[in-house]
A and B are shown apart, each in its own frame.
Chain A
Amino acid sequence: NSTGSAKRKRAGSMSVTARSTKKAKESTETWWEEVAGCSDAEILDGEGFQKWIEDLGLDPSGMFMYLILYKCQAKTSMTITKEQFVRFMDSIGVKSNSQLLTVLSALLSDIRPATAPHPNPNFKPFYKWCFQHFKPEGQKGMPVDFAEIILQTLLDPTRYDPTWVSEEEPTKNEQFPHVDAFCEYITQSDPRPVHVINKDQFEQFYEFNLAVSWSAVEHSEDSAWPALIDSYVTWKREKYPA
């Protein structure tokens, strides 16, 4: 059980930090300098992330950045501060890239989405947080082109694996078959049904995936789905009759 091992690890490192907090902090801070590239860097932005991911030898389209942003509870889009970095890394007792790589698999598994009958309760808060984080500041919705990337990343369970690599021909999303179709609907239709995805549509889309199978037999216009999802189902039934 990967979640269990992550917890054990965290618990073990907690005792270490309790004994010599200052030393641990120092080494975490050293590591920050290494990651951020210079000693007085206060933030790590998108560019910095890219470099870090490269150093770690991960696929840039993977979940790593999402995970770190979420775990650090980043306030600014795609940017973490030194303070957030240190707080989080200390909390899990990780002080270096290599240590991070050993726990990465467990961290990712912890938030990996799964469909019914055993949906992962840790995924939903992460999913909801991502909408708030990635939507343009001061706006209520997320442009559909952007939403497409977010949805295809977040709702692809295979990406929650450090060894995942992006392929030319992406494999079919077996667990969340509506994701690709929905993204096609919102980005390829002419005219587009909407220009932005709002919070309710975003959140309900995940619930929709849990409740409605690919054939969409469970769907009814009378149920509570947002109108956009209703119109997606109408479109899908025509385009991809199951």
Chain B
Amino acid sequence: MATNPPNREDLKATWAFLEAGIERIMRDLNSGMDMSTYMNVYTAVHNFCTSQRPIAQPPNLQQSAGVHRGAHLLGEDLYNKLIEYLTKHLTEIKEGSQAHSDEALIEYYINEWERYTVAAKFINHLFRYLNRHWVKREMDEGKKNIYDVYTLHLVRWRLDLFNHVQKHVMAGVLQLIEKERNGQTIETTMVKSIVTSFVSLGLDENDSTKSTLDVYRQFFEMPFLAATSQYYQIESKQFVAENSVVEYMKKAEARLAEEQNRVHLYLHPDITGPLMKTCEKVLIQEHAGLLREEFQILLDNDRQGDLQRMYNLLSRIPDGLDPLRTKFEAHVRRAGLAAVDKIADDGGDNLEPKVYVDALLEVHTQYQGLVLTAFKGEAEFVRSLDNACREFVNRNKVCKSASTKSPELLAKYADSLLRKSAKSAEESDLENKLTAIMTVFKYVEDKDVFQKFYSKMLAKRLVNFTSASDDAETSMIGKLKEACGFEYTNKLQRMFQDMQISKDLNDAYKVWLEDKPQDDSSATAVDFSCQVLGTSFWPLNPPGTPFNIPEVIIKTYSKFVDFYNEKHTGRKLTWLWHLCKGDLKANFCKNAKVPYTFQVSTYQMAILLLFNDRLIISYDDIEKNVALSQEYLVPSLAIFLKAKVLTISPATAKPGPGTTFTLNTDFKSKKIRVNLNMAVRAEQKQEVEETHKTIEEDRKLLMQSAIVRIMKARKVMKHVVLVQETIAQIKSRFTPKIPDIKKCIDILLEKEYLERLDGERLGYLA
């Protein structure tokens, strides 16, 4: 087709020439087009657009404008002719499409689309001159509905073909996808091509260089989502009716993954969000009630995998998890209470601290594990777990008698771990157990109670040298400090310091003693050491009974007092005789080759030493000599009787006024060292009671000082607000009750730290 370009002035001839070229490109691109034909078409467009032919014009227009306008109008003619051609061409395609349906139609549509768009690119190139001048100018002038030639092809496609056939094409596409959803293999590239073609048709009306997803969204996405929704609605309903909830969750999970994958394979990435939302709504939201009903069953049977599946599903819908959290919290609390009930029934009053703490920990560990694996450690579930644990740790059957039972038992358990004993734990194991204690500690509301008991028992460990390991003690205090701050562990740390200071003091005393003239042998006859401990840091009470210091140790006693007063003037030493102990060598036993050593308390020592002078002593004489009150004297004697160090007369009597005691020279023991220094049970019980009492007192002071602190800062405050702030300040130690706070406010009003300004407001009195 090597014909030359037609006369530039003749539209009819030019168009006929061009149409032949275009038709060739459209219909038979594969056969190719030689360069000269191509160039001729290109030239024809150029020539036509630049021809000077005057055409119908208002005659009074100036010449220069006329030239300009001429080119303008000529371009328009060509443009309209092109539209005419495209409409005709597309109508033919449309008619051709009617012969096809379903997959064949899709194939037809894709083929035509591909042919058409490739041709459009060439034609666009051929009409470049038109694009560059006439189209550009029209667009610059703000004319609507004028497009560059390529875009014009797309616009015409949409108007003359797409609008008429898209419904049928989409029907085919949806059918295809449904086939795939039903498990058949389909030609996915077909869908992909359709998607691409739909996307290409999206033109930005304001800027033809940009494309939008409007057409695609309207004609593909919407029907696709509707079909998806409908498909899964039917499927899920049917599936649920025939299968268990667990099976359904698996199915839903698989379907969701499948749809996600579908996007990757052949859909536009833009659809991910809407598609997932649609699927989630139909597959999860609409069955959420059913799933949640199953939750309790899964919890009861500890079905971790299924719980995880449920979590994953419900986490995908808005507010999907809230009901689960509530149920989970209640479930954990019940589990905790049940665990405590069980051991409370078994243990009764003498519940082993370890058994109790282990029971609490077991529940916590189990559900913490569940939260981590099944619920991905999600913060809200962690909070539910914490809430539940806080509930059952502080309010359970064991705590019924006293809400402070949990911290008491926890502290006792800590003591049993840290105390030297036959079954001391391995170092690493011990550390784990201490960490576990902190887990429970975190939930304990009455942290002040724990502190009280812990410091009491720590004091005992230190005073009696029964602490298993300094490292472990330090580690535990470190943990408590981390959890509650410096103030909480301050006294505990000072107790440790005092121990070191005491050690140094004993060394200094020995040196001091050596420099003294040895006036009397009895001063050094006793091997002596002592601990000097700061009254304000140690939870130790002064002795509850008068006591005459035995003659043998009185020298040593006064020497040390001299030494200490020399070193620190103005300090007062209080001797805690009830905590002192000593070893006595028993030379009186007839049958012993080696003398026994009796480990005794100072009180017991004072009693036994009386028998150095006499073998038979009456109760009243003992009482007179040692000056101990009955509640200390009687148990001490009882231990001697039980161990058969002494015998009583009358033989069946209990120690008391009117009885006499005889040293048993036939005393026998398997061990050389005989421990007679045993704590009396009644004493222990009394101690616990006392501790609880001091807690009450301390709490009152703590609340009062908090109130004063707050009021000092705020000067004037509403009563209600003050109560709330006080609770907030104290909560880390214990949970104060409102009436108790009010009582403290009453006390402060009476003491005139505060005044009532009017009914509701309180003022601070400096």
Contact = CB atoms under 8 A, between A and B. Distances in A.
Nearest to A228: B746
Contacts of B762: 224
Contacts of B697: none
B746 A201 contact: yes
B739 A221 contact: yes
A200 B756 contact: yes
B756 to A, nearest CB: 6
Contacts of A198: 746, 749-750
| B contacts with A: majority SS | helix
Contacts of B723: 222
B743 A223 contact: no
B325 interface: no
A140 B746 CA distance: 13
Contacts of B742: 221, 225-227, 230
Interface stretch (A16-24, A104-112, A203-211): A203-211
Nearest to B738: A221
B426 interface: no
| A contacts with B: majority SS | helix
A199 interface: yes
B759 A207 contact: yes
B334 interface: no
A231 B742 CA distance: 11
Interface size class of A (residues with CB under 8 A): 20 to 34
Contacts of B739: 221, 227, 230-231
A223 B719 contact: yes
Given A204-B756, A211-B759, A227-B743, A222 B749 contact: no
A203 B746 contact: no
A17 to B, nearest CB: 39
A141 to B, nearest CB: 8
A230 B743 CA distance: 10
Contacts of A211: 759
Nearest to A222: B720
Contacts of A223: 719-720, 760
Nearest to A198: B750
Contacts of B743: 227
Interface string B701-725: 0000000000000000011100100
B746 A224 contact: no
Given A198-B750, A200-B746, A200-B749, A222 B756 contact: no
B410 to A, nearest CB: 31
A217 to B, nearest CB: 17
Interface-centre pick from A201, A224, A228, A230 (highest chain B CB count, 10 A)? A224
A226 B738 contact: no
B738 A222 contact: yes
Contacts of A230: 739, 742
A100 B343 CA distance: 80
Contacts of A141: 750
A141 B746 CA distance: 13
A123 B431 CA distance: 69
Interface string B733-763: 0000011001100100110000010011010
A143 to B, nearest CB: 15
Interface string A210-242: 010000000001111111101100000000000
Nearest to A226: B746
Interface string A172-193: 0000000000000000000000
Contacts of A140: 750
Nearest to B722: A224
A226 B718 CA distance: 14
Nearest to B724: A222
A45 B749 CA distance: 33
Nearest to A204: B756
Interface in A86-111: none
Interface string B297-327: 0000000000000000000000000000000
Contacts of B719: 223-224
A224 B757 CA distance: 12
A29 B493 CA distance: 76
A197 to B, nearest CB: 11
Contact of A203 (B720, B738, B756): B756
Nearest to A221: B738
A111 B738 CA distance: 36
A231 B718 CA distance: 21
A141 B739 CA distance: 21
A211 B760 CA distance: 12
A225 B742 CA distance: 8
Contacts of A207: 759
A224 B755 CA distance: 12
A224 B759 CA distance: 7
Contacts of B759: 207, 211, 224
Nearest to B719: A224
A228 B738 CA distance: 13
A211 B719 CA distance: 16
Given A204-B756, A230-B739, A230-B742, A224 B749 contact: no
Nearest to B762: A224
B45 to A, nearest CB: 89
A142 to B, nearest CB: 12
A200 B742 CA distance: 12
Nearest to A196: B750
20 contacts: A198-B746, A198-B749, A199-B750, A200-B749, A200-B750, A201-B746, A203-B756, A221-B738, A222-B720, A224-B718, A224-B719, A224-B720, A224-B756, A224-B760, A226-B742, A226-B749, A227-B739, A227-B746, A230-B739, A231-B739
Given A140-B750, A211-B759, 9 more contacts: A198-B749, A201-B746, A204-B756, A221-B742, A222-B723, A226-B742, A228-B746, A230-B739, A230-B742
Interface of A: 140-141, 198-201, 203-204, 207, 211, 221-228, 230-231
Closest 8 CB pairs of A and B: A224-B719, A227-B743, A200-B749, A227-B742, A198-B750, A226-B746, A224-B760, A227-B746
